[in-house]
Amino acid sequence: MSNAHYEQHGKVAVIRLDNPPVNGLGHELRRGIVDGIKRAEADDAIKAIVLIGSDQVFSGGADIREFGTPKMVVEPNLHTVIHFIETCDKPVIAAIGGTALGGGLELAMACHFRVALPTAKIGLPEVKLGLLPGAGGTQRLPRLVGLEPALNLIVSGESVPAGMFMGTQLFDEFIQGDLLVGALAFANKVVDEQRPLKLARDLKVEHPKAEAFFLWARTGIAQRAKNYPAPLKCVDAVEAAVNKPFDEGLQIERRLFAELLMSEESAALRHAFFAERATSKIPDIAEDTPTREIKSVGIIGAGTMGSGIAINFLNAGIPVTILEVKQEALDRGVAHIRSVYEGRIKKGKMTEADAEQRMSLLNTTLSYDDLKDVDLVIEAVFEDMGVKEQVFRKLDEVCKPGAILASNTSTLDLNKIASFTKRPEDVIGLHFFSPANVMRLLEVIRGEKTAKEVLATAMQLAKKIRKTAVVSGVCDGFIGNRMIARYQTEALLMLEEGASPQQIDRAIENFGFVMGPLRMADLAGGDIGWAIRKRHYAENPDMKRMVIADRLCEMGRFGQKTGAGFYRYEPGRRDALPDPEVDRVIEECRKELGITPRKISDKEIVERCVYALVNEGARILEEGIALRASDIDIVYLTGYGFPVFRGGPMFYADRVGLMKVARTMEKFAKRPGVTNSDFWQPAPLLAKLAAEGKTFN
C-alpha cells in the first residue's frame, strides 16, 4: 500500500503524505508522491495539486535510516521528486501544518506555492546530523527569505515557527482554521485567477555586501564549529546560491552533501540521533505498560543534589516538598534554588513572575508526615548506607501505597536499599548528575524487584522533566561512574609513569573531551573519588593504591573547592594553573614506587583512557547492566563530555575496529611494569565480536 494517498476535491487533487511517525521521505513515500503527480497531470479535470501531511507533521525530511543504503538513491530519489514538482504544468501547493524539516521543507520550497498554519514549525536541521540540506535547501531558502536569515536557519539547524517568515516569499498565505479547507480555497483561487506558476529557482539572492558578510560568517562559524565540518560547508553552499547560476549551485550543494555524508562526524551524529531515541525502548516493557500519575514529589535532603533535582520538577510545574534534618539546611537549599532562578532572570531567560510561580510550588518541611500524600519521593542524603536505611525505613512507614520511592545514590547497592522497605517493587534509582538542573543525563536504576510499572513511570517522567533517561542495572557506579573509574585510574597510572597533569588533560581535550580527567577530578572534588578509593581499599586490601591522588587528598587538596588539587586555582577563578607543588609530589611518589619516568605519547594517553572506557563498557554490556551499546554511548555523550562528533566510546571503538582495539589492549596488558594487566585482557564480548569481525552497535 502506498503511503501517499490521492484524493480528489473538485478540481484539486490532494496528495496526503502518510508515513508515520514523521512522514520521512523514504522510497515508498517518494514513489507515492510522484505517482500522485503523474495521475493529476494526466487528469484534465484536475487543475491544481495540494501536498499535505498530518496535523502534527508535514514531513520530518529524508528518511535517515536509508542513508548509506541503496534505497537512498533508488528512483525516484528526492531530487527526482522535486524535478517532477518543478516541471509539473499544474500549480503544486504545499500545505504545511505541524513540522516541515530538512527534505520536507526542501520539498515544499520546490512547490509553486506554499501555505501554512502560523504555528507550523520549519527548519533545516541537517547540520545537527553533520550534513547540509542536500535537496536544494541551500539554494532555495536564500532566494525565498534572503541571505542572512537563510544562513542563520541552515547553520543553526533550529526549528522556528513558520509565522517568523510572514511577509517573505517562503509563504504565500497563512491559514487560520482548518489547513486542508484553507489550502483548497487557496488552490481554487490560484486556478481561478490563473496565477502564473512561481519557482524559487527563478529568483535572485540580493545582498549589498555579500562578500563581507560571508567573510564575517566564516570567521565566527570556524571558531564555534571546531571539530564539525558541516557548518562551514553550509556557508560554501549558500555562497553558491549568491554567486552561481541555480543549477550550478545545486551541483555544488550535492557534492558537499555527499562529502559530508561520508564523514566520520556525520556517522557519529546520526548514531547519536537514533541512540538517543533507542534509550526509552526496554525489551521486556511493552509500550502500553500502565504508568502511575506523578502529581507531587518529595525530596529528602536539600544539599547539592536535592536542591538541583527539585528545580527540574518545579520547572515542569510539579509541586515539590523538600525534607531536611535542620531548618538551616532547608534554608540553604531554598536559597540555592532561588539563586538559580535569579541567575536566569539576570540573563533575560526568565521573567520574575515565572520564577515566583515556580517558587510557589516549593514547600519545605522537617516532618515526614508532610510526605504521606506525595506520588514520588527522591532521596538525596549523604552517601552512607546507614543514613539511607534510616530514610527508607521511615519512607516505608509514612508514604501512601503506590508511591514510588527513589534513591539518587551514585554507588550504593540499590537492592539493599530496597530491602529496607516492605515494598521493594516500588523502589528505583534515579541517578541525576551534577548540576542536576543542568545535566541532561538521568540513569534510571532498575533494581532486582523494581516493578515494570515503576520503571515505565520513571522513563515517562524523565521526558516530562526533559532528561535523557538511560536504564542501568545494579552494580557499583552503575554505567557511567563504573566506567569513569577505569578511565581515571589510567590517567593516575600515567602520572606515576611519567606524564604530567597538563599533558594528560591536553591530550584528552585535543581528542575532543570537554575537560581532561584531572581537571574533571578537580571540578568534581577530589574528596569524592578519595572516599570511593578508600572504600575499595578496605574491601580489597591488596589492590593497588593511587598514591599520587591519595597524597594530594591527604594534603587537603580536593580541587577547585579548596583552591588546589592536581592544579592550583586563584580565589574565585576556575582556570587550572600548573603547580610546582604537584610536580614535587609526583616526583616524590615516583621515587617511593621506584619508577623511572618515561616519555608517554599523546596517542598512548588517549588510547589508554578511551579504551579503558570501552573495555569496562563491554563488561557492562555482557553483564546486562546496560541494555545496548548505544545506551552506553548516550551516557557518555550526555553526562561525561565525551566528544559528540565521535559518537560515544562504543561507537568510537566500532569505527577504530574492534580487532585493532583488542590488540592494543593486549599490548597494554603486556607492557613492562604494568600493574593492572588483568583489566587489560579484552572483555570476552569484545574479544568475541573482534574475532567475528562484528561491532558493538
Chain contacts with ligand 3HC (rule: CB under 6 A):
21-22, 24, 60-65, 78, 99, 101-103, 106, 125-126, 129, 133-135, 137, 274, 277
Number of amino acids touching ligand NAI (CB under 6 A): 24
Q: Which is nearer to ligand 3HC, 274 or 382 (CB)?
A: 274
Q: Which residue's CB comes closest to ligand NAI?
A: 303
515 binds ligand NAI (CB under 6 A): no
Q: Which is nearer to ligand NAI, 243 or 415 (CB)?
A: 415
Q: Which is nearer to ligand NAI, 240 or 520 (CB)?
A: 520
Closest approach, Cβ 323 to ligand NAI, in A, equals 6
Contact stretch for ligand NAI (CB under 6 A) within 295-303, 348-356, 441-449, 564-572: 295-303
32 φψ region: left (φ > 0), alpha (ψ -120 to 50), beta (else): alpha
- Residue 307 vs residues 366, 468, 566: alpha-carbon distances, Å: 15, 19, 29
Per partner kind, with CB cut-offs from 5 to 8 A, the member of ligand 3HC, ligand NAI, none near residue 489 is none
Helix (H) or strand (E) holding 587: helix 580-593
- The Cα 453–Cα 288 span in angstroms is 10
Interface with ligand NAI in residues 603-622 (CB under 6 A):
none
Closest approach, Cβ 139 to ligand 3HC, in A, equals 12
529 binds ligand NAI (CB under 6 A): no
Catalytic site residue from 66, 126, 496, 497: 126
Looking from the CA of 606 toward its CB, the CA atoms found within 13 Å total 18
Catalytic site residue from 28, 66, 86, 106: 106
Please give the single-letter amino acid code of residue 652: Y
Q: Are 374 and 296 in contact (CB under 8 A)?
A: yes
Phi, psi of 133 (to 5 degrees): -55, 125
Please give the single-letter amino acid code of residue 149: P
Q: Which residue's CB comes closest to ligand 3HC?
A: 102
* E strands, 522-653, in order: none
Closest approach, Cβ 379 to ligand NAI, in A, equals 8
Q: Which is nearer to ligand 3HC, 63 or 579 (CB)?
A: 63
Q: Are 145 and 169 in contact (CB under 8 A)?
A: yes
Phi, psi of 101 (to 5 degrees): -125, 150
C-alpha cell, 571: 580565589
The residues facing 14 across adjacent strands are: 7, 50
Q: Which is nearer to ligand 3HC, 129 or 665 (CB)?
A: 129
Per partner kind, with CB cut-offs from 5 to 8 A, the member of ligand 3HC, ligand NAI, none near residue 106 is ligand 3HC
Environment class of 58 (CB within 10 Å of its CB; exposed 0-12, middle 13-18, buried 19+): buried
- The Cα 316–Cα 55 span in angstroms is 25
Q: Which is nearer to ligand 3HC, 17 or 414 (CB)?
A: 17
Per partner kind, with CB cut-offs from 5 to 8 A, the member of ligand NAI, ligand 3HC, none near residue 275 is none
Please state, as a whole number, how many other Cβ atoms lie within 10 Å of the Cβ of residue 167: 8
329 binds ligand NAI (CB under 6 A): yes
Q: Which is nearer to ligand NAI, 306 or 649 (CB)?
A: 306
116 φψ region: left (φ > 0), alpha (ψ -120 to 50), beta (else): beta
106 included as an active-site residue: yes
- Which residue pairs from 461-464 have beta carbons closer than 8 angstroms and sit at least 24 positions apart in sequence? 461/294, 461/376, 463/280, 464/294, 464/316, 464/318
Q: Which is nearer to ligand NAI, 197 or 387 (CB)?
A: 387
304 binds ligand NAI (CB under 6 A): yes
434 binds ligand NAI (CB under 6 A): yes
Per partner kind, with CB cut-offs from 5 to 8 A, the member of ligand 3HC, ligand NAI, none near residue 41 is none
382 binds ligand NAI (CB under 6 A): yes
> What is the strand order of the sheet 121-123 is part of?
57-59, 99-101, 121-123, 159-161
Q: Which is nearer to ligand NAI, 54 or 408 (CB)?
A: 408
Interface pick for ligand NAI out of 312, 408, 437, 503 (rule CB under 6 A)? 408
Name which of 569, 566, 695 is nearest 621 in CA terms: 695
Q: Are 632 and 647 in contact (CB under 8 A)?
A: no
Q: Which is nearer to ligand NAI, 256 or 458 (CB)?
A: 458
Per partner kind, with CB cut-offs from 5 to 8 A, the member of ligand NAI, ligand 3HC, none near residue 237 is none
126 included as an active-site residue: yes
Closest approach, Cβ 109 to ligand 3HC, in A, equals 11
Per partner kind, with CB cut-offs from 5 to 8 A, the member of ligand NAI, ligand 3HC, none near residue 306 is ligand NAI
Q: Which is nearer to ligand 3HC, 126 or 522 (CB)?
A: 126
The residues facing 348 across adjacent strands are: none
Name which of 379, 275, 288 is nearest 325 in CA terms: 379
274 binds ligand NAI (CB under 6 A): no
Interface pick for ligand NAI out of 108, 153, 381, 618 (rule CB under 6 A)? 381
Environment class of 384 (CB within 10 Å of its CB; exposed 0-12, middle 13-18, buried 19+): exposed
Per partner kind, with CB cut-offs from 5 to 8 A, the member of ligand 3HC, ligand NAI, none near residue 324 is ligand NAI
306 binds ligand NAI (CB under 6 A): yes
340 binds ligand NAI (CB under 6 A): no
Per partner kind, with CB cut-offs from 5 to 8 A, the member of ligand NAI, ligand 3HC, none near residue 410 is ligand NAI
- The Cα 383–Cα 477 span in angstroms is 12
Q: At what angle do helices 547-554 and 526-539 cross, to 10 degrees?
A: 120
Rg, C-alpha atoms of the chain = 29
- The Cα 547–Cα 567 span in angstroms is 17
Pairing of strands 297-300, 173-174: unpaired
Name which of 449, 417, 451 is nearest 431 in CA terms: 417
479 binds ligand NAI (CB under 6 A): no
Pairing of strands 427-432, 441-445: antiparallel
Contact stretch for ligand NAI (CB under 6 A) within 228-236, 318-326, 483-491, 535-543: 318-326
Closest approach, Cβ 324 to ligand NAI, in A, equals 5
Q: Are 561 and 528 in contact (CB under 8 A)?
A: no
301 binds ligand NAI (CB under 6 A): yes
Q: Are 36 and 4 in contact (CB under 8 A)?
A: yes
Closest approach, Cβ 395 to ligand NAI, in A, equals 10
Per partner kind, with CB cut-offs from 5 to 8 A, the member of ligand 3HC, ligand NAI, none near residue 21 is ligand 3HC
- Residues recognised as catalytic: 106, 126
Residues in contact with ligand NAI by the rule CB under 6 A: 300-306, 323-325, 329, 380-383, 387, 390-391, 408-410, 432-434
